[in-house]
Chain A
Amino acid sequence: MPAHTLQATDLTLTGISHRYANTQAVADVNLQVRPGELIALLGPSGCGKTTLLRIVAGLIRQSAGHVVIGGQIVDTLPTHERGAGIVFQNYALFPHMTVAANIGYGLRAAGVAKPQVAEMVTRMLALVKLAAMAERYPRQLSGGQQQRVALARTLAVSPKVLLLDEPFGALDKNLRLDMQIEVKRLQRELGITTVMVTHDQEEALSMADRIAVMNQGCVEQYGTPEEVYDAPETLFVAGFVGTTNLLPGTLASVAPAGPTVALAGGGTMVLPRARPCSSAGPVVLALRPEHLRFAAPDEPGLDATLQLSLPLGALTVHELALASGAPVKVITPRNGEGVRPMPGDKVRLALTDGAAPAVFRGS
């Protein structure tokens, strides 16, 4: 049962740019978040994702561009009038107030009468399953509990947009998974538009409806987890999301079998399609470990020497080296048929069925 009905709001960022002294923290970002959607801003440290989040929250006034929440341009609105709830990595619970006082803080600030505040606090505590902790102080709670209080506190004021800044960074691995599921469940139940900042791609891939992969202030790709993983649009995205073997070569698009890449390390690959770069010339081929398999010597592919095979549950990870010395990772199902090479063997690697590696313009 939803705690309260929210009119789901959309969030639009148009042409957002922000400059600090000499650095361009955010460069011309355009994003549209649909009502009730959970998107992730994913990227390495310093890519501008946190800056962007803080711009949406109103904690930073951007150098250029507009933030539009629910159709309203909020650039001139201070943080406390925007209706953007934010949860920080360290939760920022008020240490001098009880859990109940923390959760009721926003409501009291809005002038809601005490009995109603108490009722809402009880409901929020039930929502995050912390009913027994009402009179405790934040320092008496565990990390996971503190995060749930932080969430309850933010959701209590029915924000139009929920902003999460690396929310699971401070939790240990097992707790992290539980909390990710919890947050996703809450977000779905309440239908609240959410923007989550993370540098953990697994987190982004599993939780988000869409991911904006950021690098040096720019959004390199904005799409569903599948799109970002299977069809990366830039070299950076291909390299950052998941594991990828980036192999330089030359593309000859006009060939009877289909786009063919002659690899610099030797060997050729025939691809089902050449995307995003389809013009002939120097390219970089992005092959995911699961795109490759061990093949017979007469199949088109590339030659490599097997160095190491590591069994990992249902999969085996192979580390190989090309003739040039460049490393290549291949993942095969452990009980699959076909060749089973030993370390030191020379093997031929070919594409698996249905694999569609990305091709990027090279130098």
Chain B
Amino acid sequence: MSASASPLRQWQLMLPLALFFTVFVLLPLLLLGYISLHNDMELKQAGVAQYFKFFGDEFNLGVLGQTLWLAARTMLLALLLGYPLAYFFTLAPPRWQRVLILIIVLPLLTSAVVRTFAWVVILGRQGIVNSVLLSLAWIESPAKLLYTSSAVTVALAQIEMPLMVLPIINSLSRQDPHLREASLALGAGRWRTLLLVTLPLSLPGLLAGSLLVFAAAASAFVTQTLVGGGQLMYMPYYIYQQAIQSNNYPFAATIAMVLLVAVLVIVTLVNFAGRAVKGVAHA
């Protein structure tokens, strides 16, 4: 080894990624913030009027609230369905796990548009659900399933499910299997073991999955728009509408910044809360 070939210092190794992050994430965000701090559409006058405009109008706050509430509902539904799926995965024999992981990851391998259109087909007036309900004579005419907030929640929960399931699987797999066995041997049944031992110790994964789904659901433009339809307004579509249709870039940028900060604040708060609990639930 020659004298000039010294091992790379840590900061040198971080450089490529840091550069990428700066150029493609940080700078656009700063640009966004810059644009939002203008009072007029021609970007001639600087100011915070856009923010006052946003927070001063009930409609805007409603859109923000609806978006965050959608994200929360999606997160809960994904959690309710995703945890059992993850738990079942860890108990399955290796042969089954290979099949299951493919099924779980599949949504990530297809485009969001394709997945969303599948839901449009499923929930449409002539879709699968309506057809089944009609043939069972449970309803007399096709029900309006599509273009409801519930439809968006369900579709989003399914589409973002891998983001919930994978961190939980990771957390569960790293748990010492003897812990569960010890609990059983002490006389605690399977449910008690799950609630008192397995679940608390999988909290880190649970939290990670929940926050990922929350953030993803809040900004899921395609699904919100296609499954929600024109009457349900969420922040991402609002941004699009203001920027592309109304050409009001400062206001659109403001909406984007508000959404960003709102989600960040919630994620940070939940993270802090989680860490306090984690202090006890840590191995």
Contact = CB atoms under 8 A, between A and B. Distances in A.
Contacts of B176: 90, 92
A90 B281 CA distance: 18
A90 B187 CA distance: 20
A106 B280 contact: no
Given A94-B197, A106-B186, A79 B181 contact: yes
Interface stretch (A80-88, A194-202, A213-221, A288-296): A80-88
Interface residues of A, number: 25
Contact of A79 (B178, B179, B184): B184
Interface string B173-192: 00010110111111111101
A153 B280 contact: no
B283 interface: yes
Contacts of A86: 181-182, 185
B70 interface: no
Contacts of B178: 88, 90, 92
A94 B179 contact: yes
Given A90-B176, A95-B283, A96-B282, A109 B188 contact: yes
B202 to A, nearest CB: 11
A52 interface: no
A251 B189 CA distance: 60
Contact of A57 (B179, B185, B201): B185
B227 to A, nearest CB: 40
Contacts, number: 70
Interface residues of B, number: 22
B187 A109 contact: yes
A107 to B, nearest CB: 9
B283 A92 contact: no
B200 interface: yes
B181 A80 contact: no
A157 B282 CA distance: 26
A139 B282 CA distance: 9
Contacts of B185: 57, 59, 79-80, 84-86, 154
Given A59-B181, A79-B181, A109-B192, A95 B282 contact: yes
Contacts of B186: 80, 85, 105-106, 109, 153-154, 157
A110 interface: yes
A258 interface: no
Nearest to A163: B185
A78 interface: yes
B182 A110 contact: no
| B178, B179, B187, B280 pick with most chain A CB within 10 angstroms | B187
A105 B189 CA distance: 12
Contacts of B188: 80, 105-106, 109
A96 B184 contact: no
A80 B280 contact: no
A106 B181 contact: no
A351 B192 CA distance: 63
Nearest to B281: A96
Nearest to A90: B178
Interface in A57-114: 57-59, 78-81, 83-86, 88, 90, 92, 94-96, 105-106, 109-110
Contacts of B179: 92, 94
Given A80-B189, A109-B192, A139-B283, A92 B201 contact: no
Interface in A215-237: none
B283 A80 contact: no
B150 to A, nearest CB: 36
Contacts of A58: 184
Contacts of A92: 176, 178-179, 181-182
B282 A110 contact: no
Contacts of A110: 187
B266 to A, nearest CB: 26
B283 A105 contact: no
Interface in B148-207: 176, 178-179, 181-190, 192, 196-197, 200-201
A359 B189 CA distance: 52
Contacts of A109: 183, 186-189, 192
| B176, B181, B186 pick with most chain A CB within 10 angstroms | B186
A88 B210 CA distance: 33
A120 B269 CA distance: 41
Given A57-B185, A88-B181, A95-B201, 19 more contacts: A57-B181, A58-B184, A78-B184, A79-B181, A79-B184, A80-B190, A85-B185, A90-B178, A92-B178, A92-B182, A94-B183, A95-B281, A96-B201, A96-B281, A106-B186, A106-B188, A110-B187, A154-B185, A157-B187
21 contacts: A57-B185, A59-B184, A59-B185, A78-B184, A80-B184, A80-B185, A80-B187, A80-B188, A80-B190, A85-B185, A86-B182, A94-B183, A94-B197, A95-B201, A95-B281, A96-B200, A96-B281, A109-B188, A109-B189, A154-B186, A157-B187
Top 8 A-B pairs, shortest CB-CB distance = A106-B186, A92-B178, A109-B188, A79-B184, A92-B182, A95-B283, A96-B281, A86-B185
Interface of A: 57-59, 78-81, 83-86, 88, 90, 92, 94-96, 105-106, 109-110, 139, 153-154, 157
